[in-house]
Structure 1
Amino acid sequence: MKIFSKEQIYEGDALTAKKQGITSTELMERAGTQIFNWLHLRMQGAQVPIHVFCGIGNNGGDGLVVARHLITHGYNVKTYIVNYSKTRSKDFLINYERIKGTTKDWPILLNDAKELPEIDEKDIIVDAIFGIGLNRPIVTWVKQLFNHFRATKAFVLSIDVPSGLETDAVPKDEECVVNAGYTLSFQTPKLVFFLPETAKYTVQWEVLDIGIDPEYLFTTPTEADLIGKNEVLPIYKPREKYSHKGHFGHALVIGGSYGKIGAVTLASRGVLTIGAGKVTAYMPKCGYIPLQSSFPEAMVISDVNDEKITKIDFNITPDAVAFGVGAGTDAKTISAFEAFLKTNTKPLVIDADGINILAKKKALLKSLPENTVLTPHPKELEGLIGKWTDDFDKLKKTKALSKKYKCIVVIKGANTITVYGDKLYVNATGNPSLATAGTGDVLTGMITGLIAQGYDALAATIFGVYLHGKSADLLVEELGYQSFIASHVIEGIPLAYLDLFKQPEPPQVEEAGEEEN
């Protein structure tokens, strides 16, 4: 699913009105009606008090459409105009007149914090105050209104975005943003729904189709895409009947040090479970027996040193190489990695201490093969790009790194984002169970295993990140967040693959029973 920018949304609205021969007011009616339909389907006429707060721009106009339909369908509605300015949009004024013609209970004008209405915890608040076009500071009394919403603990439904939240900036004052329980976003999700500093302003979100021109939606390139099942299905490569292990590549995992052999084991298991034909682990001698005993499917080449990697020397021809998991940053390990980069021509995935080495010796970034995949956690990313002021600055600096060194960067987190040049791929799977040691090692192995099978580096990264998160999603209900460990991700990979082709179950229809006498 594409994630359109604010400017593209405006462009799509204007083009839709022109191509479909409708006015912006008619498009607003369509959008507001969709919000009403969503509410009506769930409330079924329930007489819970609904407080609709409308701004004086187009988002407020959407709210007036919603309020009008709720009123005409018999709901218990109170409508408020948050009068923060003397300027009104044309479509707001049109819908203001329409709602006045619908009910004798005209919208209540709010001018300051002295007029804040009483709202019960069991009531519903519809937030239609500010939309994506917010271009002014939040005045003090409106900030007090937002705090009033929070204090009531009532359920808040925001239209398009939580009021006060911009689509391309992190709020400077948290109290100037509405905390929504649910946000109904028109046609496309917003990038701010997926960033750590801004996602917290809405617990859940859903996209509503308001009929924006399909050709525009299909042909317009976007900065960001949301990656779900529909996006990864075309990536998947099915297997032929007469294929054998030689068709699915040989991956080499280089890493490990005394006390950290488990990282290589996890990554190697990830390689084979994701479907690679063979995996060889290159590690210090101390890891030979543990890995051979715990994971007999892997082959092992050991360094001459017992506790750390001091030289990278192998006589195999891998199709993809992973470096860094558990490797440490000893001077001899760094020297071995430097020497390896000078001769390596194979696709490369770098994680953990491999990234820490690159952060220590940034000149090595120039030696990376094109489309090398870097998979840092936040602290490792900071070592590469420096400190960032906020999430948007983090994305900007990561894009710059990706473009300069022609590499793919995986920003791991609640919504893992793959950065490739100026393009962002936002992953839709995963949950807090993945916040445990070793899950990143498994991801490194999964991406490496996909590249070894012949997936190009970007497709392998997007697909690997998706399957990694999906594995956790499928197992977390059985295992819980706290008890989930990295090995469980590996156990869930087969389920994640099978889920790609699982059809949604049809709704259950209860059979009519015999009438009781």
Structure 2
Amino acid sequence: MVVLSAGQVRAWDQYTLQHEPVSSVDLMERAAKRCVDWMENQKILQQQQFYIFCGKGNNGGDGLAIARMLHEKGRPVDVFILEFGQLGTVEFQQNLQLLHNLPVNIHFLQPGIPLPVIPETYIVIDALLGTGTNRAVEGRMAELIQHINESGNPVISIDLPSGLFADRSTLPYPAIKAIITLSFQCYKPALLLAENAPYFGNIELIDIGLDPHFLTTIQPAYDLVDQTLAASIIITRKSFAHKGNFGHALLLVGAAGKMGAALLAAKAALRSGTGLLSCLIPEKGLIVLQTALPEAMAITKGNDFLAGDLPDLSPYKTIGCGPGIGTAQQTSALLEQLIQNFNRPIVLDADAINILAMHSGWLGKIPPFSILTPHPKEFERLAGASVNESERLGKAMELARKHQLIIVLKGHRSFIAMPGGKAYFNLSGNASMAKGGSGDVLTGILTGLLARGYTPDQSALLGVYLHGLSGELASIQWGMESVLATDIIDNIGKAFIQLSL
């Protein structure tokens, strides 16, 4: 599955018109019908009345076609067309003429005329702009958007909430706040940004039958990590394999009072398939680790926190570092030793990233294709503040290219920037995972997959999806409020099974 820019979606429309062949107005008819079919399947049409607000572009044409189809299904519809002194597109005009032949109330919102009061029982359909804007709305359009938002009525946006930029963050500019967005054919970047979530509500992708061959002619803006992609990465264990075939991982984790993070990362690494696991921990964590997780071996350095010299690193296929280690000077020195003396990809998270932020020169010394997993605040410490989410994603992609690293920006739609320039949004996971310890679990999963034999890019894509899917499965059992990080770990096996079916 792919994510396309507004320009690419328009090009896809044109490709379909040329190769199917189908006329533009017929493609609009198809899109409108599938939106109405979806609403009917969801029982939204039952006993409902609609106010449809249209601009004069093709998104407005979609709205007019939807109005006609709703009328044909016996639903009361009023159409409001925002006037700004232009005729509108050819397709808009064609659909307007068809609607004029029906007993549907059409209102033209002329400049200076008060905006309509929206009855509280009505559903609003937003067909003002869709993906057809790349600058902030202003004037009468901004006034109408604010009026619709202040009405409190449920809003269904067609393709994209009006005012929302298709390809980047919209804040601080106004946009329709929809409860449902019926977006055509594919995700647009705007629909994957947390900053835009108050605008787009629940997203439903509506297949309008665009020619799939178009996708072989372009480089998508981004890719998506979905179940199909994650399942394609899974490596089946051979029947006669032994623990030595699945790698030996080392975790640098924990400090006094933070051994929980160490345990979460360690257990997740083992659940993810590594054959052997050693944990480098401070002396005060030894009893905790060996009592709670007998499957892991332990090496101690330092007393309350990690300090001293690293052990021989040659036995380890990969190393994960960060959960619970703190940022003491001695611990920082140990991380520097790791970066200088280990030449295979590693996983860095949490305090390891905070230490890197204090020593920016170390970034260029990290082994190529290592995986860094910051949350937004950690990334800000590492790369500087960003004006908005779009700028943050751009910085992640630049950092990945410059230093040949894999950057995983954690969030509801975690963003994975690859060294070669490709980037992915992850589709698994839900809000049940917004709880302390979830990131430590991800560190363990990624470390376990690297040790198991997956390549760094495979580990990042599969690991992030597996992490989210495990959270989803845990929420089925425990509900959205009550999932613990340990519940995510307990569902890693089920997630593997689901991906392997």
Q: TM-score range by the shorter chain?
A: over 0.9
Q: By how many angstroms is 1:260 displaced? A: 1.7
**What is the CA deviation profile of residues 186-222 of structure 1, one whole-angstrom value per residue up to 9, with x for unaligned ones?**
1101111121211221220111111111111245321
Report which stretch shifted further, 311-320 or 179-188. 311-320
What amino acid is aligned across from residue 104 of structure 1 in structure 2?
A: P
Structure-2 change in CA distance of 1:307 and 1:115 (3 Å) = closer
Name segments (4+ residues, structure 1) moved above 4 Å. none
Structure 2 residue identity aligned to 1:75: R
User: Structure 2 CA distance, aligned partners of 1:463 and 1:268?
Assistant: 18
Residue in structure 2 matched with residue 161 of structure 1 by the alignment: 160
1:390, CA displacement in angstroms? 0.4
| Mapped contact 1:45–1:74 kept (Cα < 8 A) | no
1:69/1:456 Cα in 2 relative to 1: closer, same or farther (>3 Å)? same
2:52 is aligned to: 52
Residue 438 of structure 1: aligned partner: 437
**In the alignment, residue 48 of structure 2 is paired with which amino acid?**
V
The residue number in structure 2 matching 1:514 is: none
1:320 touches 1:347 (CA, 8 Å); kept in 2? yes
Task: Report deviation, 1:444.
Answer: 0.3
Cα shift at 1:324: 1.7
Q: Report what 1:319 is aligned to.
A: 317
Q: Name the counterpart of 2:126.
A: 127
Structure 2 counterpart of 1:507: none
Once the two structures are TM-superposed, the CA of residue 77 in structure 1 deviates from its matched residue by 1.2
| Cα distance in 1, alignment partners of residues 131 and 209 from structure 2 | 18
- With normalisation by structure 1, the TM-score equals 0.92
Superposition map of 1:109-128 within 5 A: 109-112=108-111, 114-128=113-127
2:464 counterpart of 1:461: no
Q: State the alpha-carbon separation in 1 of the partners of residues 169 and 112 from structure 2.
A: 25
> What is the aligned partner in structure 1 of residue 298 from structure 2?
300
Q: Partner letter of residue 54 of structure 2? A: C
How much does 1:115 deviate? 3.5
User: 1:472 is aligned with what amino acid?
Assistant: G
How far apart, CA to CA, are the structure 1 residues paired with 2:266 and 2:238?
24
| Aligned counterpart in structure 2 of residue 257 of structure 1, from 243, 255, 259 | 255
Q: Report the 3-state secondary structure (helix = DSSP H, G, I; strand = E; otherwise coil) of the residue aligned with 2:210.
A: coil
Equivalent residue letter for 2:259: I
Q: How does 1:111-510 map to 2 (within 5 A)?
A: 111-112=110-111, 114-135=113-134, 137-174=136-173, 176-305=174-303, 307-314=305-312, 317-421=315-419, 422-501=421-500
Cα drift, residue 23 of structure 1: 2.2
8 Å Cα contact 1:54/1:128 also seen in 2: yes
Alignment check: 8 A CA contact 2:168 2:189 kept: no
Q: Show CA shifts across 1:324-360 (max 9, x none).
A: 2222222222222222222212220001111111111
Question: How many Å separate the matches in 1 of 2:497 and 2:6?
Answer: 37
Q: Is the 8 A contact 2:305 2:326 kept in 1?
A: no
Shift of 1:168: 2.2
Q: Is the 8 A contact 2:169 2:193 kept in 1?
A: no
Asked whether the equivalents of residues 355 and 374 of structure 1 are also in contact (C-alpha less than 8 Å), the reply is yes
SS in 1 for 2:195: coil
Distance 1:417 1:163, change over 3 A: same
Q: Could you say what secondary structure the match of 2:201 adopts?
A: strand
In 2, the alpha carbon distance for the partners of 1:342 and 1:321 equals 13
Identity of aligned residues (%): 36
- Cα distance in 2, alignment partners of residues 113 and 157 from structure 1: 26
The letter for the 2-side match of 1:326 is G
> What secondary structure sits across from 1:189 in the alignment?
coil
2:483 maps to a residue whose letter is F
Contact 1:256/1:309 (CA < 8 Å) preserved in 2? no
Residues 1:322 and 1:136: Cα distance change in structure 2 (over 3 Å): closer
Q: CA deviation at 1:381?
A: 0.4
SS class of match (1:197): helix
CA distance in 1, matches of 2:85, 2:188: 26
Q: Give 1:72 deviation, angstroms.
A: 2.1
**Counterpart of 2:144 in structure 1: which amino acid?**
L
Structure 1 counterpart SS, 2:461: helix
Relative to structure 1, is the Cα distance of residues 444 and 45 closer, same or farther in structure 2, using a 3 angstrom cutoff? closer
Change (3 A) 1:353 1:211: same
Asked if the contact 1:47/1:76 (under 8 Å) is kept, the reply is no
CA distance, structure 1, for counterparts of residue 477 and residue 413 of structure 2 = 22
1:36 is matched with 36
Counterpart CA distance in 1 for 2:291 and 2:112 is 69
- AA aligned to 1:415 is R
SS of aligned partner of 1:198: helix
Secondary structure of 1:125's counterpart equals strand
Deviation for aligned residue 1:385:
0.7
Aligned residue type for 2:99:
I
Cα distance in structure 2, aligned partners of 1:135 and 1:328? 44
Separation (CA, whole Å) in 1 of partners of 2:206 and 2:219: 20
**In structure 1, C-alpha distance between the alignment counterparts of 2:306 and 2:270, rounded to whole Å:** 24
Q: Which moved more, 1:88-97 or 1:416-425?
A: 416-425
Relative to structure 1, the CA distance from residue 306 to residue 32 in structure 2 (aligned partners, 3 Å threshold; closer, same or farther) is closer
Q: Which moved more, 1:375-384 or 1:216-225?
A: 216-225
Note closer, same or farther for the CA distance 1:182–1:306 as it changes in structure 2 (3 Å cut): closer
Q: 136-145 or 363-372: which moved more?
A: 136-145
Deviations 1:106-128 (A, max 9, x none): 52111247442332333211110
Question: C-alpha distance in 1, partners of 2:370/2:400?
Answer: 10
Cα–Cα, structure 1 residues 118 and 344, in superposed 2: closer, same or farther, change >3 Å?
Answer: same
Structure 2 CA distance for aligned equivalents of residues 198 and 172 of structure 1: 8
For normalisation by structure 2, the TM-score amounts to 0.95
Aligned partners of 2:192 and 2:241: how far apart in 1?
Answer: 40
1:213-270: CA deviations, max 9, x gaps? 1111245321212222112110111122222212211111012222222222111101
Deviations 1:73-97 (A, max 9, x none): 2221111112234251121111111
Aligned match of 1:12: 12
Q: 1:382 to 1:311 in 2, by over 3 A?
A: same
Question: Would the aligned equivalents of 2:87 and 2:93 in 1 still touch at CA under 8 Å?
Answer: no
The 1:41–1:306 alpha-carbon spacing in structure 2 relative to 1, beyond 3 Å, is closer
CA contact (8 A) 1:311 1:333 kept: no
SS in 2 for 1:234: helix
Decide whether the 8 Å contact of 1:113 with 1:144 is kept in 2.
no
Aligned residues: 500
Asked whether the equivalents of residues 187 and 210 of structure 1 are also in contact (C-alpha less than 8 Å), the reply is yes
